[in-house]
A = this chain, B = another copy of it.
């Protein structure tokens, strides 16, 4: 509950807008689903998917074991739902914040990186879950195609694209590759931060350094004294 003061639980923030007019039952139902997702998030972040017992999630969520199966098909489905739910919310928030940025592509990429870091600081569990568990289960990396994550990457990718089209960024680099590399850089740094549970103070600085470095590697330069 208090955990998500800044980082509002997706369902209750996003879905509440839609289901505001729903009946009491619907609201209670949605709320319980969200409680389970939150319990799962905490548990997965703490012990990892495979080391988390369904009963642990249930007790974290304050529901009976069987209740989980009223909202999710099985443990795998819970994992995937959690991921999709959180990613949806992250993407929505990202989109909103990016739209609000005044300035060009460079400012928006910086904003992207800062938000990425800020989200991790706001909700450590979510950060840990996404950085660590995202790659984890075979479901995720093999069978499950992970469309939400692709959406996330697409945002980055189109920012690079835009910079290239505007002539700000060099065009000898593949924008998708750069997007991926940037994401990887962010993710790895956050993983380190998440696992070490280091002070959140210097995170802002790290975000600045990384975005600076990447952007400086991307921008077109005057041919360095050709003669």
Residues of A within 8 A of B (CB): 47-48, 50-51, 131-132, 135-138, 141-142, 172-174, 177-178, 180-189, 191-192, 195, 206, 209-210, 212-218, 221-222, 224-225
8 A-B pairs within 8 Å (CB atoms) are namely A51-B138, A135-B135, A135-B136, A173-B213, A180-B192, A184-B191, A185-B185, A222-B224
Chain B residues with CB below 8 A from A216, complex form: 216-217
Given contacts A48-B138, A221-B221, 9 further A-B contacts (CB under 8 A): A48-B136, A132-B135, A180-B188, A181-B188, A181-B189, A181-B210, A181-B213, A184-B189, A216-B217
Chain B residues with CB below 8 A from A215, complex form: 217
Closest CB in chain B relative to A199 CB, distance in Å: 15
Closest CB in chain B relative to A168 CB, distance in Å: 14
Contact A136 B136 (CB under 8 A): yes
| Cα-based distance from A221 to B135 in the complex (angstroms) | 37
Closest CB in chain B relative to A35 CB, distance in Å: 24
| Cα-based distance from A215 to B218 in the complex (angstroms) | 10
Contact A142 B214 (CB under 8 A): no
